[in-house]
Chain A
């Protein structure tokens, strides 16, 4: 069935360093890839998304890249700050259903 694998499960970086989280999806028909950030005790919030007709998208310190051939996409956070500490979820969906298939999450810790 549809599956999204996410790595790493935990990531610890020094403030100011970059963080990269990678996801691989199984359904080649997937065409929408959002990233959600969930801070402790709060709701998941969309931070960036990308559609299959684009290879890269950037929003300030956050960027997402998509490789459709390899069926993987990545989240890049530059100049990390302590407030970036959270659990990050990648997801994939396709036009026929729009349900989100989530990865298992990455717990990011940014050390001051």
Chain B
């Protein structure tokens, strides 16, 4: 069974530019989560999709971040415009249903210069 995949693995951009991260969950998993780890701190929740609907977006830091999951399959997280403090590792996770194990992707390391 293929795991959660994320693209790209690394991204280096300049402040003010736009970056789009992609996550492909495990096939059949309706629940998709975005998290990020900044500066070696704890992994923080960003948002949760159930199929194509946003179930909880309480962790989104501001309106520069936009997440979509059209069709309920893969998801994208766009940062526009990027700021220095957005640097970190962005993880995606998926689960079959609400209460089951969340499987993580390898993460996208974003560096904003």
Contact = CB atoms under 8 A, between A and B. Distances in A.
Interface of A: 4, 6, 32, 34, 36, 42-46, 49, 89, 91, 95, 97-105
Given A43-B107, A97-B56, A99-B59, A104 B41 contact: yes
B45 A49 contact: no
Most buried by B among A91, A98, A101: A98
Given A91-B43, A97-B48, A98-B99, 17 more contacts: A6-B42, A32-B99, A34-B102, A43-B3, A43-B105, A44-B91, A46-B101, A46-B102, A49-B101, A89-B42, A95-B99, A97-B56, A99-B58, A101-B45, A102-B35, A102-B44, A105-B42
Contact of A100 (B4, B35, B106, B107): B35
A46 B98 CA distance: 16
A104 B42 contact: yes
A99 B48 contact: yes
Contacts of B43: 44, 89, 91, 100, 102, 105
A106 to B, nearest CB: 11
Interface residues of B, number: 26
A89 B45 CA distance: 14
Interface string B40-60: 111111001000000010110
Contact of B104 (A32, A45, A98): A45
Nearest to B106: A43
Contacts of B48: 97-99
A105 B98 CA distance: 24
B99 A102 contact: no
Nearest to A44: B104
A73 to B, nearest CB: 16
B87 interface: no
Interface string B86-102: 00000100010011011
Given A36-B104, A42-B106, A43-B107, A100 B99 contact: no
